[in-house]
Amino acid sequence: MSLLLVGAIVGGIAGGVAGGAVARRDGGGIAPVTATAAPAPLPPAPSPPASAQDPSAVAAVAEALSPSVVTVVNLLADGRTLGSGSGFVVDAERGYVVTNSHVVSDARGTGSGDAFEVIFPDSRRVDARLVGQDPDTDVAVLVIGRQEVPALTLGDSDAVPSGATVVAIGSALGEFRNSVTAGVVSGKGRRLPSELRRDIFLEDLIQTDAAISPGNSGGPLIWVATRQVIGVNTLVLREPGSEGLGFAVSSNTVRTIADELIRAGRVERGRIGIVYESFTGRQAPSLGLPAGATGIVVTEVVPGSPGAGAGIRPGDVITKVNEQRIDLEHPLLTIMLRFRPGDRVSLTIVRNGREQVTDVVLGRP
């Protein structure tokens, strides 16, 4: 099987090992925009109504919400198109647009494009500036200035039930703007390895059978019953002979990340300050651990880091963060996405065959 990012831009894998992941901020030269309002959090999700929807609801939702769904064009410095995807307006007054990080990434997938343009369904084109991107969750925010279109509401993805009717809107294949497909929520809380970052899993994904095509990345997945966005379409899992399964970053994840990007231009995650290597259960006995044990081996501790202050040493084996076991399904980098600078975590460490628990107050990148 294969994982396919469904934007026209597919970022490369960024390597490296560290105690915490850090989002990057755009530094490219992009056409100026008029929005200068002070950042404020995106509005909380309203409570969803319980009323059922008739079959015509899909068409009604598509007609009402499509004007706020845009094509995002990623441009090179010379004006050529690097790729494109989709996005949607979440704050019309301040002009914020949510999309995927891989839609706005550069050709290497390690930074951002040089310039951006947003195309509305009526073919109106607006220059955009990258506010920030978070490759670890595949979320990015652009700003385009005040727009006379309704903003889409980020709903509560925890509230949507499996089987709920959903609509995906986006620029299929990069050419067919505001294509609409319908389906149901097939599952929640899914996790898949990131195509952008090694040792990172995308978590709390929403699975849907609504058809998602290349170019749909960054477009909204809308719960028909509430007309609220409950996910941002991001990738398709395909096997030979199958149509593929679509996945969207949950709206609750998107809201948290987008708020941080709007506030600070990046997402800061807590740092231990170590360099390490992973090992498998098969390798555990060579480290003096029981067969089947998993975790990471510390190879270097950054001087002056929280890890150094907590007494972590090269050669230490870390097997858990709090009560979460470190293994192939839960790499340390993915676990660390949950924490911010100043958070206190407990590390289970094996040193010279003896297990101990050490608390670390995480630092800034």
For 123-170, give the DSSP string: S-EEEEEEEEEETTTTEEEEE----SSPPPPB--TTTPPTT-EEEEEE
Structural tokens at position 198: 């090694």
The active-site residue out of 26, 138, 156, 316 is: 138
Q: Which pairing describes strands 324-325 and 317-321: parallel, antiparallel, or unpaired?
A: antiparallel
The active-site residue out of 217, 250, 251, 305 is: 217
84 is catalytic: no
136 is catalytic: no
**How many Å apart are CA 56 and CA 364, to the nearest integer?**
51
For 52-68, give the DSSP string: ---TTHHHHHHHHHGGG
Q: Which residues contact 241 (CB under 8 A, 6 or more apart)?
A: none
The active-site residue out of 26, 66, 102, 194 is: 102
CB-based contacts of 237-243 (< 8 A; 24+ apart in sequence): 237/1, 237/2, 237/3, 237/4, 237/192, 238/1, 238/2, 238/4, 239/1, 239/2, 243/211
- Pinpoint the alpha helices (H) of 228-311: 251-264, 306-309
Ramachandran assignment for 243, one of left (phi > 0), alpha (psi -120 to 50 degrees), beta (any other): alpha
Catalytic residue IDs: 102, 138, 217
